[in-house]
Structure 1
Amino acid sequence: MAMNLRLRDDAAEALRAEAERTGLSQQEILRRAVDEHLGLAGATRPTPYPDWVIPPERPYRSVTPTLRLPAGMTTADLLDREDRI
């Protein structure tokens, strides 16, 4: 089931910080919290990664862009080149 969830600013920041600290997605943290609240903590939960996916070595980190495109240029312009195969 898909849904939208509006959190208070402090709750959203705490969720982001927990996701960064643990390396789990915000979705997975919320799923576990709902399961625990509803007494479903023992329910079988899919593993975070299928067998064919290699998990990340480090948790998610926010990244500051290091490249700024010139005014009027988009990433689509970078992909639309004659030398691409």
Structure 2
Amino acid sequence: APCAPARKRVRPSMKDQPDTHFPKTRINKKALRTDKRIGERAVQALETATDGFLLSLFVDAARCAENAGRTTVRLEEVALALGI
């Protein structure tokens, strides 16, 4: 079924979407709220831990969505997975 015209404007095409690369270093530094320098190995360890946490979170959220009979993960499933 074709999308309504308003929905087409909201959903960008794949070529217009930004790269899937996460600026994790910037996000992690912002989360730490520090202007101090962080060593490269410390940043790598933080990125590894962040990747592992997010992967586990979305795997759990996907299981919750699957249990509800859906394949799309909603915010409710993410919140439920955080509470598990």
Q: TM above 0.5, one fold?
A: no
Which structure's CA Rg is the greater one?
Answer: 1
Higher helix share: 2
TM-score by length of 2: 0.25
The structure whose RCO (Cα within 8 Å, separation 6+) is larger is 1
TM-score by length of 1: 0.25
